[in-house]
Amino acid sequence: MSTNHIGGQEKAAILAEALPYIRSFAGKTVVVKYGGNAMTDPALKEGFARDVVMLKLVGINPVVVHGGGPQINDLLSRVGKQGEFIQGMRVTDAETMDIVEMVLGGLVNKEIVSLINKHGGRAVGLTGKDGGMIKASKMFLKGATQEDLVDIGQVGEVAEIDPELVALLDTADFIPVIAPVGVGENGEAYNINADLVAGKLAETLNAEKLILMTNTPGVLDKSGNLLTGLTPAKIDALVEDGTLSGGMLPKISSALDAARAGVPSVHIIDGRVKHALLLEILTDVGVGTMIRAK
């Protein structure tokens, strides 16, 4: 048997392995959060776009929510400002908000839209302002005491998501690509952490899966080992002993909220692995950390 022949058989086996997954996810919605840290390598970005197109073509409805933290930091430093984060949230004054909106709604959103379209998909880029889709309210962080609230500026939490626009796009076979900018009562922009938007969107759309793609193999313990499954009790312990910090805090909290709200499968996966999305959705290969409701 030639090596080519074996390669062919293996390739066919991998394709065939996808069938039960395609059957069970066809017609279902998968919310994919594409983190700014997973977006740095051009080849990986192309791979991500191809995976999204492929999911759509096999009948799954991918909805992309993207971040762009490092990309915002780049533009901030070009105008002489330094990004500052508290509990994984960017301190956002008025000037920073302008830059956040420009980078997320402009540069990053349109780059992802273009890449998906280049590979044969029909992506439509939106921010939460479009159609009044993501209503935001001002977020305060918890301070040192129960009563102590920390004001970090124009940072929002999701008050409400109107699912109609996304549903409309899905029905017409477009792929929604959403930047995490929300709109306040007076039309003002709010900077919302992309993990929070993705989690709430998965819940509102009754998604089958929420996949948070980041730049680590998943959630790691103190020795750097991958934790493949996490329960609420385990998560509490990891927050308490400081194993989870920075950007992992909003990620884990929105993952847990989504699982508790009934999203059947919630995963934090490594966006630096080529075709991580296809591996997670269409194969038996377990990647990353699964977050369970109990």
Ligand X SMILES: CC(=O)N[C@@H](CCC(=O)OP(=O)(O)O)C(=O)O
Ligand Y SMILES: Nc1ncnc2c1ncn2[C@@H]1O[C@H](COP(=O)(O)OP(=O)(O)O)[C@@H](O)[C@H]1O
**Residue ranges of the binding site for substrate:** 68-69, 90, 191
Q: Which of residues 143-202 bind ligand Y (CB under 6 A)?
A: 195
In this structure, what token pair is assigned to residue 19?
């069938």
List 29, 37, 71, 109, residue binding ligand Y (CB under 6 A): 37
Choose the stretch contacting ligand Y; rule: CB under 6 A; options: 3-11, 49-57, 76-84, 238-246: 238-246
Can you tell me the distance from the alpha carbon of 100 to that of 97, in angstroms, rounded to the nearest whole number?
A: 5
Interface with ligand Y includes 255 (CB under 6 A)? no
Least distance CB 279 / ligand Y (angstroms): 17
Closest to ligand Y by CB, 85 vs 120, is: 85
CA torsion through residues 99, 105, 108, 114, sign: negative
Closest to ligand Y by CB, 216 vs 265, is: 216
Q: Which letter does DSSP use for residue 88 in this model?
A: T
Can you tell me the distance from the alpha carbon of 34 to that of 36, in angstroms, rounded to the nearest whole number?
A: 7
Distant-in-sequence, close-in-space partners of 138: CB < 8 Å, separation ≥ 6: 154, 155, 156, 157, 184, 190
Burial class from Cβ neighbours inside 10 Å (0-12, 13-18, 19+) for residue 46 reads middle
In this structure, what token pair is assigned to residue 165?
């626009």
Can you tell me the distance from the alpha carbon of 2 to that of 12, in angstroms, rounded to the nearest whole number?
A: 16
Least distance CB 154 / ligand X (angstroms): 9
Interface with ligand Y includes 121 (CB under 6 A)? no
Closest to ligand X by CB, 47 vs 180, is: 180
Count the residues of the shown chain that bind ligand Y, applying the rule CB under 6 A: 19
Place of tokens 């884990």: 252
- 85-267-16-118 Cα dihedral, nearest 10 degrees: -30
Can you tell me the distance from the alpha carbon of 272 to that of 17, in angstroms, rounded to the nearest whole number?
A: 23
Can you tell me the distance from the alpha carbon of 182 to that of 82, in angstroms, rounded to the nearest whole number?
A: 23
Interface with ligand Y includes 67 (CB under 6 A)? yes
216 binds, among ligand Y, ligand X, none (CB under 5 to 8 A by kind): ligand Y
Interface with ligand Y includes 273 (CB under 6 A)? no
The residue number with the shortest CB distance to ligand X is 67
199 binds, among ligand X, ligand Y, none (CB under 5 to 8 A by kind): none
Place of tokens 């279902």: 28
Interface with ligand Y includes 215 (CB under 6 A)? yes
Closest to ligand Y by CB, 164 vs 241, is: 241
Closest to ligand X by CB, 29 vs 92, is: 92
Residues lying near ligand Y in the complex (CB under 6 A) are found at 35-38, 67, 69, 195, 214-216, 219-220, 243-248, 251
